[in-house]
Amino acid sequence: MTSLENRSRLRGDWLNHRDPLLRPRLSDGERAALREVMALYSPYGLLRTFTTYFRPGPGLPMYVGHGQYLDLDHVLRRLLGLSGVETGIGSQIYGGGKGYDLFGMLASSVGESVERVLGALAFLDLTDQVVHGTYRDLTARGLTCVHPEQMPIFAPEQLATSPIYQPWTEDSPLGWIAGTRLRSGATVYVPAQLALLLYVRGPEEPLIGLAPSGGLASHINRTEALYHGIVELFERDGINLRWYCGIPLDRIVLDRPARDRRLRRLLGHLDRSPDQVGFYYHNLDLEEFPVITAKAFTPWFTRYRYAAGCAVAPDIDTALLSALTEFAQAERSMKLSLLAPQWEFSHAFARLFDIAEDATSEQFVNYIQAIPYYGYAGNEAKLDAYLNGGREVPLSSLPTMDDRSLDARWDRLMGVLAARGWDPIVFDLSPPQFRHTALVKVMIPELSPPYPQSAPGLGHPRYAHTAHESGHRPAPVPFTDLVRAPLPYP
């Protein structure tokens, strides 16, 4: 082995002795990726401010961060010289991070910010790569495209009454963007409005759907980003099917001790908490990756009484820990808004997420509004059958992994995809200055896609067949039987 080969195999750790936000030890890759994204953090940069607060009262002992980002519409107005540009993307770029410790909160906050902000800005870099034409036009030119029947969005009954969305057919004039199949490496074109978080349609292009942030992932390397983008689509599919098919969640019974010490600590804290947090299982199939939610109501609140968090992982203890981390983010936001109503955070939260108690699905602007919506005392009963009508699932019956390394998780994931013949479509949205950090968007046409509350796309065949094929329904579910109430995301 040459000295050059030896050097290529060298790995190092960075030892931290001065920054309280970082772990005592980071790998070279972690440190390099963190430096890349933190270069975007400044009062005049893409990532403006991250804030965190001590937990209120008996809340979970974890850390939650909240982000403030650049005004994308203002930037576009200056770039284009058009003072009237209003994309509405500002209401969709929100959020922050959460973690078991301060470093987890920081890394999560920065990562989610990169996903949302750079994911939206990717359109500016990819504009010249958008190919225009119909499915028939592009395939006649020799391009491989996703057929409308491979990725159904809205049911015919929805399109018949929609004043906004139009059918996607072989003759729809669209802008298309190229993606790469993960397993085969083949190039395939997808309508850009379904793939890009921000996309400006031409005057003749019909609106056939939207591209929510589901499947968008940023991480310290490409494999981690791909892994998280794919399993997030497993999570969204599991959430979609249980709710819209009207199948009550299964409650997890903790019949064995937690294997993860961090999870044991949090469960011990919940034993002393006045909030009764329940864990629920969503999967109808894809049992190799349990989709778990942690949910609770605070009965003495009249609003903001509902909190929930969802996660997916091939190891059930990891899924429970992640679900509690997500739950803590919702819980912290609700309680801070009630305890400190004059804080800027509380005003910002209300601007983005407040919604009327009697709102309809069409009035939802973003996913998170489901939390305050079901947090009204009058709406809690709407979830009673959903949360209390299922069976009990012992924790010991759900899958675990002794090796939770990236290699082991990736092998499990590739096995699941291969067994089902699924080949996800990947879009690399990483900016050129990123040498370590990766930003990807993943789509899996075989799964029910994420979508906003105001436009649930219920045309996917999994809504009709999965509950029946998995033994949860005696027959396929007709469109008329699908639930129309707002999805209690997550």
Whether the pLDDT of residue 268 is over 80: the answer is: yes
Whether pLDDT at 457 is above 50: yes
pLDDT at 85 exceeding the cut of 80: no
Segment 445-456 mean pLDDT: 90
Q: What pLDDT, on the 0 to 100 scale, is given for residue 63?
A: 85
Residue 165, judged by CB atoms within 10 A of its CB (0-12, 13-18, 19+), counts as middle
The pLDDT-based confidence of 4 (bands split at 50, 70, 90) is very low
Mean pLDDT in the chain? 89
14-28, 213-227, 302-316, 467-481: the lowest-pLDDT one: 14-28
Question: Which of 118-127, 241-250, 295-304 is predicted least confidently?
Answer: 118-127
User: H or E stretch including 123?
Assistant: helix 102-126
pLDDT at residue 406 in the model:
94
Residue 290, pLDDT above cutoff 90: yes
Comparing 40 with 417, the larger pLDDT belongs to 417
Give 367-425 as a DSSP string. GGGHHHHTTSGGGGGGGHHHHHSS-EEEGGGS---S--SHHHHHHHHHHHHHHHT---E
User: Amino acid identity, residue 386?
Assistant: Y
Closest of 317, 254, 247, 308 to residue 282, by C-alpha: 247
pLDDT tens for 310-338 read 999 999 999 999 999 999 989 888 888 88
Calculate the alpha carbon distances from 299 to 179, 254, 273, 355, 410 in Å: 47, 23, 13, 20, 41
pLDDT band of residue 56 (cuts 50, 70, 90) is low
Q: What is the mean pLDDT of residues 62-82?
A: 77
User: Once rounded to an integer, what is the mean pLDDT over residues 203-228?
Assistant: 92
In the chain the domains, ranked by start, together with CATH numbers, are 130-211 (3.30.40.250)
Q: What is the pLDDT of residue 89?
A: 60
Q: What is the DSSP letter of 450?
A: P
Q: What is the mean pLDDT of residues 275-304?
A: 94
Q: What percent of the chain has pLDDT over 70?
A: 95
pLDDT of residue 55: 72
Q: Which residue has the higher pLDDT, 119 or 324?
A: 324
67/468: higher pLDDT: 468
pLDDT tens for each residue of 369-408:
999 999 999 999 999 999 999 999 999 999 999 999 999 9
- Say if CB 400 and CB 316 are below 8 A apart: yes
1 band by pLDDT with thresholds 50, 70 and 90:
very low
Nearest CA to 240 out of 11, 456, 476 is that of 456
- Is residue 152 exposed (0-12), middle (13-18) or buried (19+ Cβ within 10 Å)? buried
454, pLDDT greater than 90:
no
pLDDT of residue 465: 97
Between the alpha carbon of residue 228 and those of residues 60, 78, 290, 420, the distances in Å are: 24, 35, 14, 19
Tokens 């990236």, located at residue? 406
Identify which has the larger pLDDT, 370 or 23.
370
Work out the average pLDDT over 225-249.
97
27's enclosing H/E stretch is: strand 25-27
The residues pairing with 297 across neighbouring beta strands, listed in sequence order, are 306
At residue 91 the predicted structure's pLDDT band, cuts being 50, 70 and 90, is low
- CA-to-CA dists, residue 148 to 49, 135, 136, 248, 328, angstroms: 41, 9, 11, 31, 39
What is the C-alpha to C-alpha distance for residues 292 and 116, in angstroms, rounded to an integer?
Answer: 24
For residues 294 and 344, the model is more confident at: 294
| pLDDT the model gives residue 339 | 87
Q: Is the pLDDT of residue 347 over 50?
A: yes
Instruction: Name the CA dihedral angle for 449, 453, 454, 457, rounded to a multiple of 10 degrees.
Output: 20
Q: How far is CA 202 from the centre of its chain?
A: 28
